[in-house]
Amino acid sequence: MKNSDVEEPMRNLISRRAFAKAATFLAAGVASPFAWNFAVAASVESAAVTRARPRYRAVSWWLTWDDLTWPNAELMDKIRRRADQCAANAVNCCLIFGAHFRWDFLPLWGRLHDELRFIAGELHQRKILLFDHHSSVLTHRPRNREDALNIWRRNRHHVPFYPSPEEATTWQFDGSRLNDWRMLDVETGAPVYMPAYEAEQFCMNNLAFRAAYGRYVKRLLAETGVDGLMSDDQIFYAGWRACACDHCRKRFKREYGHELPPVSDAGFWGNRRSEAFRDWIAMRFHSSGDFLAAVKKAVPAGFPLLTCCSSSDGHALPAYGMSYQDFIEHSNHVLLEMVGSTPSPAGTWDDRIPSQLLHLGIARDHSAPCFGLGYGFFPDTAFFVWAVNKFLGSDSWFSTLKGRLNASPDELATLGGDAELVGEGYRWERDHPQLFTGEVDTDVAVFFSRATRDSYGQVAGDYAADYSAACLNLTRAGITCEVVTQVPELGKWRCLVLSSAACLSAGQRQRLQEFMEAGGTVIATGPTGHYDERANPVAKPWLEEFGVLAELSEPARPGGFPPYKHLAPPVEIAQCRVPDPARQQMKDGWFTATLGKGRLLWRPERISLKAVADAVIERLRERDRLAARIRGLPKSWRLRQFRDGNRILIHALPDTVETVLHATLKNQFGNERIVEKLRFAPLTAELTFESSATLNRVTLHSPDLAGPRAGEKLDAQRWSVSPRQVSRYFVLEAYV
């Protein structure tokens, strides 16, 4: 089993201490809830443990209303057949979906856990991992029949087994009333309510709730034998309306020195210049992260732990306190939920790239697995979800979401299971593991300025839109890039792109100087370094250090509650202006300065403008250091390059596909028709692979082909290869 692919997700997550503990369990013949995990891990040599990279091929394991009949023989047989289907389709990890609002199942925990243990046992026999996945904080609480019907229309996949409001008032856990844990609306003082889910939420800052959930997690692991935990939703789902409970108020006063003001205080609410409101934002992120830290204490060391996150870069995230930059401090897996359809009904998919690259960067910096959760209902979209993840360098989790469809039981019965739908991609990946190794092959990094987003970015145009434009424009231009959350040392990355990073700390300014002095290039656009990390004006803006007197005009934006709701688009945003005398120092719109062995290129306009993005791309191509490139590929295809020793791996995927929407089925959450089929234009023209180094072998691989296709040598640095019959996805493998 040493080289078994199913071992990989566990190899570098189990410490030597865990090995010793496993050996004790196994030698004593004690049935540990984690014995299977440890037994698998113990079969791997310690040297391999530190080197292996997990590769998850995951699917959702759906619980439905039928599962509430547990236990019975028919259900056991159904579980075995589903496990067989997972094994046949190269799935190596399943994540529970259903029984999702876990506190609503409190009276059934014993039965539910026993069923999870049975599922885990069947999957383990087939060498497949099982992670539990549930909401730690949300509870369905419909207020009337219409609310209840909305749950059934849009969220029946949760298996909404919720109590009546009267019964909910009596529920307790270890002597603590569940209703006492609820978040309270800052305006009304009533429990917050989320119409999207017809739900209330428990507060992460409530110490009694935090302790209770930790006790539940310990019980869950002891009773189920699951191999990992995805603990969901520990964010402020109600946004700025949450939370005014006594625990949040006391924490804000105790740790930050502020009383939470009434919503009529426009000097606080939505005022990014208010130190108190900045502290309110900081506390929101800390609250979410601290709760996950408490969950981490409830699981064994090295136990796979993750949470859901659909974005860490959006401008609205301070309202929710959601960022994997915080979560990763207390977890060891990174996930991006690719919300919506992949591809969209319009056939596009790359709008998720900025979020996914940020999550991949966070995972890289913490040596953690990173995978994307994508949704679909048919084989074409399942394949595409897998291909997008492989293109970016992520592991994959494919999931249906049948509980959101306006489908009858007969219609649902015709839709395939998750493992069956994604089987083509997963089997191909299992059979070609050598194509999904290595590191991203680039020396270009895009800097994500969290300080600018948190302390300054009230609307998307202030910062988030420019960060997104940088990632998208580089990728669309065929320039492979990575995302960094700190200014790096010169090494792998030699070019750093800063897009409207208005806030720079003193440490970041110093590291930028060191990066350039050592030989790095910084390409910056828009407002840059006018403020410190808290958005306070600095005595000397960063650009002035290079002789640039850039004036920043800030629009007046009054506060109010809810924050920013009154800012109807188009919203005026800050703009940089260079006085006419200073413009004489600029050439082709760029100010250029040399620092040590490196240089700075800056222009005042934002990269969201197409002309500016094109100018950035031109500057990057002038100093292109790519070891290889493909000639002859249509511009409608995206490329991403990886390097593994003496191998170059270029992954390619069309940027837009033709979609065929289902005639009747809709996702009820957005009332949007779902994608049933995808149509691709096949490649026809010969491809030429060029390298700055001597090429020894070039091979084209694709699920569209019966087998690998060898290239033809033109000269030492050029090979030709035919892409005939390829239309969906390919990997070009070259040895140098």
Tell me where in the chain the CATH 2.60.40 domain(s) lie: 629-735
Q: Are 641 and 660 in contact (CB under 8 A)?
A: no
Tell me where in the chain the CATH 3.40.50.880 domain(s) lie: 444-625
CA 84 to chain centre: 29
pLDDT on residue 5: 36
Structure tokens at 728: 């969906």
β-partners of residue 192 are none
Per-residue pLDDT band for 7 (boundaries 50, 70, 90) equals very low
pLDDT higher than 80, residue 673 = yes
CATH fold, domain 629-735, is: Immunoglobulin-like (2.60.40)
129-136 mean pLDDT: 98
pLDDT on residue 312: 97
Q: d(Cα 574, Cα 577) in Å, to the nearest integer?
A: 10
pLDDT on residue 53: 58
CB-based burial, 204-219: b 16+ in 10 Å, e otherwise: bbbebbbebbbebbee
Structure tokens at 544: 């002035």
Q: How many CB atoms lie within 10 A of CB 353?
A: 22
| Predicted confidence (pLDDT) per residue in 512-564, tens digit | 999 999 999 999 999 999 999 999 999 999 999 999 989 999 999 999 999 99
Residue whose entry in the numeric block shows the structure tokens 């946004």: 239
Q: Are 440 and 640 in contact (CB under 8 A)?
A: yes
pLDDT higher than 90, residue 590 = yes
β-partners of residue 397 are 58, 373
Residue 568 CB partners (closer than 8 Å, separation 6+): none
Number of C-alpha atoms within 13 angstroms, CB side, residue 509?
Answer: 19
pLDDT on residue 4: 36
HEC string for 74-94: HHHHHHHHHHHHHHHCCCCEE
pLDDT higher than 90, residue 441 = yes
Residue 580 CB partners (closer than 8 Å, separation 6+): none
pLDDT higher than 50, residue 146 = yes
pLDDT on residue 625: 58
Q: Are 29 and 70 in contact (CB under 8 A)?
A: no
pLDDT on residue 32: 33
pLDDT on residue 2: 30
Which architecture characterizes domain 5-435 according to CATH?
Alpha-Beta Barrel (3.20)
**First-to-last C-alpha distance (Å) of the chain:** 32
Q: Are 593 and 523 in contact (CB under 8 A)?
A: no
Residue 400 CB partners (closer than 8 Å, separation 6+): 60, 62, 375, 376, 377, 415, 417, 418, 421
CATH of 444-625, one of 2.30.30.40, 3.30.70.260, 3.40.50.880, 3.40.50.300: 3.40.50.880
Across 31-79, the runs of DSSP E, i.e. the strands, are 57-62
pLDDT higher than 60, residue 30 = no
| Predicted confidence (pLDDT) per residue in 231-260, tens digit | 999 999 999 999 999 999 999 999 999 999
Tell me where in the chain the CATH 3.20.20.80 domain(s) lie: 5-435
pLDDT on residue 612: 98
pLDDT on residue 584: 82
- Could you tell me what percent of the chain has a pLDDT over 90? 86
β-partners of residue 134 are 231
- Could you tell me what percent of the chain has a pLDDT over 70? 92
pLDDT higher than 50, residue 25 = no
88-95 mean pLDDT: 98
| Predicted confidence (pLDDT) per residue in 598-654, tens digit | 999 999 999 999 999 999 999 999 875 556 789 999 999 999 999 999 999 999 999
Q: How many CB atoms lie within 10 A of CB 692?
A: 11
pLDDT on residue 52: 45
Residue 26 CB partners (closer than 8 Å, separation 6+): 35, 38, 39, 42
Helix, strand, or coil (residue 108): helix
451 exposure class (CB count in 10 Å sphere: 0-12, 13-18, 19+): buried
pLDDT on residue 629: 85
pLDDT on residue 1: 30
pLDDT on residue 622: 85
Q: d(Cα 587, Cα 584) in Å, to the nearest integer?
A: 8
**What is the residue-averaged pLDDT of the chain?**
91
pLDDT higher than 70, residue 735 = yes
138-153 mean pLDDT: 96
Structure tokens at 205: 């800052």
pLDDT on residue 581: 80
pLDDT higher than 90, residue 141 = yes
59 exposure class (CB count in 10 Å sphere: 0-12, 13-18, 19+): buried
pLDDT on residue 636: 93
400-411 mean pLDDT: 91
pLDDT on residue 66: 94
pLDDT higher than 80, residue 82 = yes
Per-residue pLDDT band for 50 (boundaries 50, 70, 90) equals very low
399-403 mean pLDDT: 95
β-partners of residue 598 are 595
